[in-house]
Amino acid sequence: MEAIQEHAPFRPEIAVVLGSGLGGFTESLSCNAVLQTASIPGYPHSTVEGHKGELAFCTAGLRRTLTFRGRVHFYESGNVNAILFPIRVAAALGARILVITNAAGGVNRTFVPGDLMLISDHINFTGETCPEPGASKSRGALYDPQLIRIAENTANQIGVRVVRGVYAAMKGPSYETAAEIEMIHRIGGDAVGMSTVLEVALASSLGMRVLGISCITNKATGTSSAKLNHEEVTVVAHQVREQFSRLLTHVIKALPPA
């Protein structure tokens, strides 16, 4: 923490975690400092394409924002604490709102690649739990209903299509089988990925308000005849970068005071 605090130009109000291929969001912001995670002692290192590994202290409008470009997945390290490290950093630096994003496969048959899904709830299929005391206790909605409404209203105002849905997290790194996707569909999942749920559980236990956004980068196995690969995920995320960045910038400006 000392190495980060030494270079932090301000105490952030809002923390943003950027998923696969979505790191270009910071290019639209005014950034005061950018730290390479490789230069921070003890910071977990991402090995997945599309996760650059940077902490950027930026402003969106007048909102002080700490942006994490990339994340570590459980399948990379097998260490829950590595996944949760950025959330602990954000909370320790003072961020009270977390905007967490990911790339996800569309389980809901009405979703198409390029859709942006506001996460209303999640299903944790990872078999892992957040070790923070109190993280498993009920505190109401994990994803803040007011922040979801703000995001929906903002999207309508600027003409960006958004949908709502439930995010299901699997451990990975293999993509799900058609039978697994059918199971997720039957129990109410709308999108599937390999992140987010443990980070959100920790953020909620630390008193942070959470807004989650999934970029639907592909149709999940069994809902399309196409074969899945990570390159497709990053390509689609890049294609929707402009509208994703526009939505995220306007949403951050509209969020309530932290």
Question: Would you call 75 a catalytic residue per the annotation?
Answer: yes
State the catalytic residue, choosing from 15, 91, 103, 170: 103
CA-CA distance, 41 to 3, in Å (whole number)?
A: 7
State the catalytic residue, choosing from 51, 122, 185, 250: 51
CA-CA distance, 143 to 140, in Å (whole number)?
A: 9
Contacts (Cβ under 8 Å, ≥6 apart) of 129: 80, 135, 136, 198, 201
Cβ atoms of 58 and 29 within 8 Å: the answer is: yes
State the catalytic residue, choosing from 7, 45, 75, 254: 75
Question: Would you call 20 a catalytic residue per the annotation?
Answer: yes
Question: Would you call 103 a catalytic residue per the annotation?
Answer: yes
State the catalytic residue, choosing from 8, 43, 73, 169: 73
State the catalytic residue, choosing from 102, 195, 205, 214: 195
State the catalytic residue, choosing from 46, 102, 214, 218: 218
Question: Would you call 45 a catalytic residue per the annotation?
Answer: no
State the catalytic residue, choosing from 8, 20, 169, 191: 20
Q: Is 186 exposed, middle or buried (0-12, 13-18, 19+ CB in 10 A)?
A: exposed
Question: Would you call 175 a catalytic residue per the annotation?
Answer: no
Question: Would you call 82 a catalytic residue per the annotation?
Answer: no
Question: Would you call 73 a catalytic residue per the annotation?
Answer: yes
Cβ atoms of 198 and 151 within 8 Å: the answer is: no
Question: Would you call 76 a catalytic residue per the annotation?
Answer: yes
State the catalytic residue, choosing from 13, 54, 76, 132: 76
State the catalytic residue, choosing from 194, 201, 208, 237: 194
CA atoms in the 13 A half-sphere facing the CB of 145: 2
Catalytic residues: 20, 51, 73, 75-76, 103, 194-195, 218, 230
